[in-house]
Amino acid sequence: MAYFDAASAAPLHPVARQALQASLDEGWADPARLYREGRRARMLLDAAREAAAEAVGCRPDELTFTSSGTRAVHSGIEGALAGRRRVGRHLIVSSVEHSSVLHSAEVHEAAGGSVTTVPVDRAGRASPSSYAAALRPDTALACLQSANHEVGTEQPVREVAEACRAAGVPLLVDAAQSLPWSRVEGDWSLLTASAHKWGGPSGVGLLVVRKGVRFAPQGPVDERESGRAAGFENIPAVVAAAASLRAVRAEAAAEAARLRELTERIRVRVPELVPDVEVVGDAVHRLPGIVTFSCLYVDGETLLHELDRAGFSVSSGSSCTSSTLTPSHVLKAMNVLSEGNVRVSLPPGTPSEDVDRFLSVLPDAVADVRERLGAPTAPAPPSPSPSDALVVDSLGKRCPIPVIELAKVIGDVPVGGTVRVLSDDEAARLDIPAWCEMRGQEYVGEEPADHGFAYVVRRVS
């Protein structure tokens, strides 16, 4: 089985396993105690903090170990907002942040704060000028991920940090995806990360708060971790997390070059092997191991099952692979095709042969799914007596059926004629415009309907 979902959780690194097993015998005692076992545990905790701080590029006393990356994000945002409440209650986030950031923003807004969401371009990248324009006198905090977890696009953290610093606003960086590869450059103020993203054990997060940043930890006061993370420290897991971060960093330069070659092979070869595919994410500013593409006329859940049966574990942002039946907020913010979405995220050490085998398996898997859904294999022939306007009723049908039905009838209207697709599927709002762009047709817009919306398409070719 080839595991291609390292962006969700990387396999446990051998160094993490060794460190975890060794520290189980040495790091079980309370590090706050002065007897021998407590001192031994404290030494392990301090050494882990120093190693993690060196990898991040901060002081050891600026770094807190939390129970998860999500907990680090929540604590970091809550503490920074509370520490600057006299300045104001305005928060800035990008539209493609991890859900932990967006959920914190929702809670802040529900409590009476204000939130500005900065848009991204079609490659998933936010612009420094947009962040600068969003800054206000009452801005308490800005958040920007270092790289996107779904499409791999790297963000201009250095430039955004400069704009925030000039305005006196702290910037929190979610570095969960990029920290295994390098330090986050720029004059950021707070940083979060998660150990299971680099091959450490799950249940360990990092929260870094630079000296001089106003920060007020929320919740009941706890004497551990400078009051920023309540509860007894999981020292064996913390030691394993720090050891594995140091190990992957030592291998990062060589492994990044190798994985970039493999992901570039996928980026280039997939559109050549599979028709009607959109590769998404920035082609240049991206992480080494992540490549994401969407396949027209494909049910994402079915495709993932097909690839799983073929021996490949991949992820997806398609709405039909989620319980919410709404497309990924990242793909939605980018205005790209969401149906048949596949994210390949290669863990360090992935053999080149696995990538080649994936490329050999993918075309038949996509073709099988399309055939089962009755997807068109060629442009529909023009109707002998075309109508100037057609209505396609796709109410109650989920992705990618509304787009398939649109493709089948577009030839039944003359050039200049329109097709109205009735749909109550949220994905249609994203995928019908994306289909128009891929097919060279004009997306006119959406209109309210008795149920759902009518998505209007004009034939231009």
Active site residues: 320
Q: How far apart are CA 287 and CA 291, in angstroms?
A: 9
Judge contact between 190 and 171, C-beta under 8 A. Answer: yes
Tokens standing for residue 295: 């396949």
Q: How far apart are CA 89 and CA 87, in angstroms?
A: 7
Judge contact between 315 and 345, C-beta under 8 A. Answer: yes
Three-state secondary-structure class, residue 295: strand
Judge contact between 292 and 343, C-beta under 8 A. Answer: yes
Q: How far apart are CA 70 and CA 75, in angstroms?
A: 9
CB under 8 Å to 142, separation ≥6 — which residues? 91, 92, 93, 131, 134, 135, 160, 164, 169, 170, 171, 172
Tokens standing for residue 53: 């701080």
If DSSP states are collapsed to H, E and C, what string results for 443-454? EEEEEECCCCEE
Judge contact between 142 and 164, C-beta under 8 A. Answer: yes
